[in-house]
Amino acid sequence: MMNLMTSLIGLGSHLAGWRHRDAWSPTTMSLDNAIHLAKLAERGKLDMLFLADGNAVRQMDDPILFSATSRSDRPAAFEPLTLLAALSQHTTKIGLFATATTTYDEPYLLARRFASLDHLSQGRSCWNVVTGSYAGDAVNFGRSAHVPRAERYNRAREFVEVCKGLWDSWAEDAFIEDKASGRFLDPSRVQRLNHVGKHFAVQGPLNVARMPQGYPVLCTAGQSEDGRELAAEHAELMFSVAQTKAEAQAFYADVKSRMAKFGRAPDALRILPGVTLYIGRTEAEAEEQFQELQSLILPELGLAYLSRQCQMDLSGYPIDGPLPKMEGEVAGVASYRESIAAMAHAEKLSIRQTYERIVPSLGHVLFKGNPVQIADQMEDWFRGQACDGFNVDMPVVPRSLTDFVDLVVPELQKRGLFRREYAGGTLRQTMGLATPQRRIFSNPTLAAD
């Protein structure tokens, strides 16, 4: 069975999606829109609703990109756990999937927020563990430059370990609330963590009861060597930015093969590439929508967007000439620019043709067609071990999600590729993931203090 998720973002995944006549307007900071999308995605039985995140307003030094905005810039965005806490009260089954950085946060605070979300949603929380894609976040946290990748990953590894330890603070039955005896809790059913490491010293215990899922479902996004190792060790869900089926298959095989040394079975980690869907009732209708959106992109915006993805100023190169060799160190997601350059060189694309390729899907794969054609492409990747499902991106919100739920989901269900009903209450039950057992530490417990 496929795992399917979608982003909870009002702007759409085509750079001009928000300008389309069927797109919501206004969308800025709209709780009503978010509730609408959450209910719609739950009607489609999707696994999760996802919120990417960052901690800065981006692109202020590039007026073309800044004024046109793009969804990843997020000049006005809800803090993910806060919005998902609100949505937990308007949904009952769908997973609530928040991005949170390990570079600019503290494990105690974050462990507490996720444990709270898991309680509020009765077991539907999921954490996208990121080390930060945007160098500009650093200046909002007392630093002048982005933390180097190796240091970010070291901190991330310890951060996740500390969170897991804190989530193991309390046994499920610790809070007995026995009115007759006057014992509210059982002190033998809680333990301190007493963690002292390179980045953190955390005594614990956490001041939230054990969450319904034990731990939130853990996701990682980084694609580098360090990112793949982190995923193989800890992640139950991972994004892939592969641009072709062959690339996705190689990535899938590589990451899954790393899991055995951590004592993990391949199915304990689900790999979901991002895919943007252009859906029509007919092939012609899908193409018409696609061309309509393409016509809303100005060349200077396309060029500015590609320059940013490649982290290289392309404005001095002929727009109809080839994409030049990539130069310079990448501060954020190196894999995006590598994928883009590989595609442009393999297919001998000009700069203009390259941005025309990435603007409709913003770095993700693109599937276009009627519901049967879309399902065919999804099935081909899924059965070909290129993925375990998809992070489906919607070019025009809410129209594209409505089309996905009403037209494509039934086709996937008919083929036995996707659930007709949620299996249970928690996200782990929905996804068929194991619930972690509470570990007992050798450190002194509170009872022995």
Ligand X SMILES: Cc1cc2nc3c(=O)[nH]c(=O)nc-3n(C[C@H](O)[C@H](O)[C@H](O)COP(=O)(O)O)c2cc1C
Which residues lie near ligand X (CB under 6 A)? 52-54, 99, 101, 130-133, 149, 221-224, 226-227, 239, 241, 332-335
C-alpha span between 266 and 268 (Å, rounded): 5
Residue 9 or 174: the one with the smaller Cβ distance to ligand X is 9
Count of Cβ atoms closer than 10 Å to residue 298 Cβ: 12
Please report how close the Cβ of residue 190 comes to ligand X at its closest, in angstroms.
33
Which residue number is nearest to ligand X in terms of Cβ?
222
Question: Which amino acid, residue 424?
Answer: G
Residue 329 or 421: the one with the smaller Cβ distance to ligand X is 329
Residue 218 or 351: the one with the smaller Cβ distance to ligand X is 218
What are the beta bridge partners of residue 96? 49, 125
Residue 221 or 271: the one with the smaller Cβ distance to ligand X is 221
C-alpha span between 13 and 395 (Å, rounded): 4
Please report how close the Cβ of residue 122 comes to ligand X at its closest, in angstroms.
25
C-alpha span between 205 and 445 (Å, rounded): 9
DSSP state of 5: E
Residue 219 or 279: the one with the smaller Cβ distance to ligand X is 219
- 83 and 67 Cβ atoms separated by less than 8 Å: no
153 known ligand binder: yes
224 known ligand binder: yes
For tokens 């203090």, what's the residue?
Answer: 449
Please report how close the Cβ of residue 417 comes to ligand X at its closest, in angstroms.
23
Please report how close the Cβ of residue 137 comes to ligand X at its closest, in angstroms.
7
Please report how close the Cβ of residue 238 comes to ligand X at its closest, in angstroms.
9
53 known ligand binder: yes
Please report how close the Cβ of residue 363 comes to ligand X at its closest, in angstroms.
8
Residues contacting residue 10 through CB under 8 Å, at least 6 positions apart: 18, 24, 27, 28, 30, 33, 34, 397
CA distances to 17, 72, 93, 381, 403 from 280, in Å: 16, 26, 28, 20, 8
30 known ligand binder: no
Residue 193 or 241: the one with the smaller Cβ distance to ligand X is 241
- Tokens for 363? 């770095």
Which residue ranges make up the annotated binding site?
Answer: 53, 99, 153, 224
Which residue ranges make up the annotated binding site for FMN?
Answer: 53, 99, 153, 224
